[in-house]
Amino acid sequence: MAISGDERYAPAADSGGGKLWNLCRMPFRQASGAPAPASSSSSSGIHHSAGRYGVHEAPVAGDGGPPAAPAGISTVAKSLLPARRRLRLDPSNKLYFPYEPGKQVKSAIRIKNTSKSHVAFKFQTTAPKSCFMRPPGAILAPGETIIATVFKFVEHPENNENVLQKCKVKFKILSLKVKGPMEYAPELFDEQKDQAVVEKILRVVFLDVQNPGPQLEKLNTQLAEAEAALEARKKPPEENGPKIVGEGLVIDEWKERRERYLAQQQVEAVDSV
């Protein structure tokens, strides 16, 4: 016959001290059995308090905490995130052209370098035979802005299709971080293909010149700014130093004064004779 823990520790006879003996050994009975739930609650209270004051303990193996994530997962996650944009475009995702069939029309886009380093950009198009860009690419300093002009020949529609609503030509703008100010060369993107980022793919939208709207007015303003900037770049820089006529010959104000002084001396010498 199996004997329970209570029967083993129970007195042989029912005397007056039995109850007292049972009371005295209650803590020991509880210690020999399953752990009291109060300890887990106090433990959770300690962890809760520690977390509230900004103390977070790393999970120990075997205490039920989630396993630590491998270091490679964060690297893979970063590679899946989209690359940060280096340029701000205006318009942001379209190129507006006036619709004039049989003519070469122009569009404009403002490009600003919003990064903290020098950035090269480059245009690409799905219709290189009928489109070209000015400039086709450039290097922008941090915060620098340029207005690029895009030229496109508009063909006559076939089968009475509505070209104002449908055009398959697209443009792509690529960007590349460079070390500093340098001369732009298209080979930069060939040498560093892995570092180039597609900033935006722009689709072509034609504007009805017979019904001008805000988009057409904005386009004309940007085209005028682009032409003014182009003319300013064509002007030779003003020379603040002395004028150099040839190698070693400098003409400035003091030489002219000296010539006038010598001429005056000759006149005075003739008068004295």
pLDDT tens for the 273 residues of the chain, in order? 444 444 444 444 444 444 444 544 555 444 444 454 444 444 444 444 444 444 444 444 445 555 555 556 565 555 555 567 899 999 999 999 999 999 999 999 999 999 999 999 999 999 999 999 999 999 999 999 999 999 999 988 877 666 665 688 999 999 999 998 999 998 999 999 899 999 999 999 999 999 889 999 999 999 999 999 888 888 776 666 555 555 445 556 667 777 777 777 776 665 555
Residue 58 lies in a domain: no
Is 192 within the bounds of a domain? Answer: yes
pLDDT at 39: 46
22 contacts: CB under 8 Å, gap ≥ 6: 10
What was the pLDDT predicted at 264?
74
Total domains, the chain = 1
Q: Which two tokens stand for residue 46?
A: 């300690």
Query: Which residues form the domain of 205?
Result: 87-231
Give the number of C-alpha atoms closer than 13 A to the C-alpha of residue 139, restricted to the C-beta side. Answer: 15
Could you tell me the CATH number of the domain that includes residue 152?
2.60.40.10
- Is the previous residue joined to 59 through a cis bond, with omega within 30 degrees of 0? no
Predicted confidence at residue 252, as pLDDT, reads 61
Q: Residue 134: helix, strand or coil by DSSP?
A: strand
3-class SS of residue 182: coil
Answer whether residue 126 is part of any domain. yes
63 within domain boundaries? no
Q: Do β-strands 87-90 and 104-113 pair in parallel, antiparallel, or remain unpaired?
A: antiparallel
What pLDDT, on a 0 to 100 scale, did the predictor assign at position 204? 94
C-alpha–C-alpha distance, residues 52 and 258, integer Å? 87
- Kindly state whether residue 237 falls inside one of the protein's structural domains: no
pLDDT number for residue 206:
93
Rounded distance between C-alpha atoms, residue 7 and residue 27, angstroms: 17
- The residues with which 170 forms a beta bridge, in sequence order, are 203
**Cβ neighbours of residue 56 under 8 Å, at least 6 residues apart?**
50
**Under a CB-based contact definition with an 8 Å cutoff, are residues 158 and 94 in contact?**
no
